[in-house]
Amino acid sequence: MGKRFLKIKQEAGKMKRKIILGFAAIAMTFFIVSKAAALGTPAGTVISNQAYVDYKDANNNAMTRVFSNIVTTTVKQVAALSINPASGANSGGLGAV
């Protein structure tokens, strides 16, 4: 009975480590993706898209593929503002006048 309990306890420890590593991997993925997304798309980039749909008739025969119009957009530059807090002894803290 003691060996069986020890084995169950070891398996639980392994499972706990796998879960923690899994959550860490997911967190790192979100962090990396959010940093990449924050860069945005450069101004002047042209983005085009066209959709299509496939139909089948009542007898399950394939119909001719239908395409949408091509939509194209150009990314415009937007103004950006960056504010950095003052540093040093006279920077004023919370509640400073």
Stretch 66-84: mean pLDDT, rounded? 88
- The vertex-33 CA angle with 77 and 24, nearest 5°, equals 160
pLDDT tens sequence across 6-65? 667 677 777 888 888 888 888 888 777 766 666 778 889 999 999 999 999 999 999 999
Say if CB 74 and CB 48 are below 8 A apart.
no
Map out the domains of the chain as residue ranges: 2-74
Lowest mean pLDDT among 3-7, 63-67, 82-86: 3-7
pLDDT value at residue 92: 57
Pull the structure tokens for residue 2. 């003691």
Answer whether residue 73 shows pLDDT above 80: yes
